[in-house]
Amino acid sequence: MPSSSDSSHSLTGRSSRSLTHLRMQRTWLQILLVLGFIQVILGILIVTFSLVAATITPAPKIRHSCPYWAGFSLALSGLVGVVSWKRPVTVVITFFTLLSVLGVMLGLAGSILSCQNAQLVKSLEACEREMDMCMCCSVRSGLQHVPGPCSHHPDRLVMFANPDCRSIRMALKDLLFSICGLTIFSTIVCTLSAVMCCIQIFSLDVIHMVSTARSPLPCPHCTAEAWSRALHPPHTDIT
């Protein structure tokens, strides 16, 4: 027959393990919160830079390479990540995982398009103003000093009128390179988010199985809500 000291040791061990699990869960959720905020900020920046770049030129090739669609998806994924910190249920974390995986694919596509067109704009060094439009093309030997070298160039870039066509080309190039860097960074962040979510879901499943095996709950479907209340205890005012 177990003594009272054995029972107290068992209860102390269980409480210490529970506190350890709670600390681990809070750490994981704080990491998800940070990753969610980073995704929201990156998504807003990508959308803003893409829309600004689209207003500089009417060229369909450049406009289609501005991945505003990746920015919208990234911002939505970040918002779900923030919600998963407040409501750490499996459904929300799984949805955040799927959106992060989608962000990886869209980020890769956006980085390829923006980086390629940034290199293209960088190579178009000869710029001039024609018919209230700025035209830039690559400098070819023997045509540097010929008037209107970009008029019949097959790879010319048309931009909206500006007093200084070279400066507007440089601005477009900087925007596209910024979008390229942001999409690459967003791909890394989304990959980390997806990995962290998978670890979080796996740890929740393991903890649920262990706790169920040791002390069966009368309501097994309430596990997620119990974790949510334990991780985010209600604030009570003491008067």
pLDDT digits (tens, 9 = 90+) for 172-225: 999 999 999 999 999 999 999 999 888 877 766 555 565 555 555 445 445 455
- Write out the chain's pLDDT in tens, 239 residues: 455 554 444 445 455 555 555 666 677 778 888 999 999 999 999 999 999 999 998 888 888 888 999 999 999 999 998 888 777 777 888 899 999 999 999 999 999 999 999 998 988 888 888 777 888 888 754 444 444 557 666 678 888 877 788 888 899 999 999 999 999 999 999 999 999 888 877 766 555 565 555 555 445 445 455 545 555 556 555 54
Distance CA 35, CA 20 (A): 23
**Cα atoms in the 13 Å half-sphere on the side-chain side of 182:** 28
Radius of gyration of the chain (CA): 27
Domain ranges of the chain: 19-124+163-225
**Which amino acid is it at 201?**
I
What is the pTM for the complete model shown? Answer: 0.73
Whole-angstrom CA distances from 198 to 117, 147, 189 are: 35, 61, 14
Q: How far apart are CA 32 and CA 97, in angstroms?
A: 11
Q: Strand 157-160 relative to strand 126-130: parallel, antiparallel, unpaired?
A: unpaired
